[in-house]
Structure 1
Amino acid sequence: MPPQVVDLLRSLDAPPRLAAHLRAVHDVAVQLVEWLERRCPELAVNREAVLFGAATHDIGKAVHLDELSGPGSAHEEAGRELLSAHGFGPDLARFAGTHASWTASDATLEDLLVSTADKVWKNKRVAALEDLLVVRLTRATGRQTWEEFLALDDLLGRMGDGAEHRLAYQGTFPVHAQRGGVRGPGAP
């Protein structure tokens, strides 16, 4: 995890389950970006932004704890505001909101990658999201759509295979912060 994210989680006394989730999504994003850099070196992707976005996309759940174990979207705007209040610019704070709004016409490649990592970490496949990535890959490489679809499908299938372990790992951490701050993944 990016060091500034670890520091932020500590300063927020973030729940260990949130840290575990952010770590899992970050780790999947690392694999996704590395694959993309190998497959499409001509495609400009802001690696640091994707990894930061994956590591902070749900940071607003530090404020809306009920959304750690249930549905809700209040954490999205809260996360954007929280990141802004801690000095992160709009170019990075945006991921707290865009991870759930990847269908927006102004969604960037980085937004799509963070959203994909947030789905695939638990082996959830979203065809419409993946189709948007395939379009970007096809444009960048000039390869056939079916080639890019098969390559992405293969990668996401392999990444999804480890979901049960990631879910079990996340589930071992409490939803509420323990006294003394984060002691979960990404924190010493």
Structure 2
Amino acid sequence: MRRTAGLVVFGWASAAATTGVAYLTLGSEVVPIAVGFLLCLTFAVLLLLLHRALWLTVLSAVPALFVLVGAVQYAPEAALEQRGVREKVVIVADTAAGTSSDNHRFTLRGTDGKELEEKLGFNGDAWAPKVGDRLDVISDPEGAVPMEQAEEVDAAGRLGGLVGGTVTWTLMAVLAGWRGHVRRRRGRDSLAYQLL
């Protein structure tokens, strides 16, 4: 019971720690991704030790992805929602226009006719805006978070994914603790049974 509770607490603490690191390193995704990945991997190893079966550990990768993505992306999107400046803009140039690159950097003009200093980044060709398109963008006045299209900013959705992944981890930890307890009582704690 204590090991199961400890794993649940570790899962919630991992999600909180990754989110905290993402807040502390706004503008850089490398550090929170690395920290979150290590914590998610540690959770999976602890789940394997508690349950002694590989299948549940493999399944825990799905909620781990929600925890990682939600924690890493929630902080910058929340910062944009809280302090960001929303503007209507027109795309006047695209660095990837006429090239085979799908890494777009759009030059934008505001409603006042002036070009914005910051460029809007967009990766991929599917659904990429074109020169002349009108967009709503949100930019960070402090410059810590890159500009994004307003419709792409969804802090509540990221938080929902983060909480949903963490709750699923909790259910998996409880299941692992219960099954591990039952297996030990039945004497199936040998190496022959550990991966079944």
TM-score category of the 2 structures, normalised to the smaller one: 0.3 to 0.5
The normalised TM-score by structure 2 is 0.32
More helix by share: 1
Max Rg structure: 2
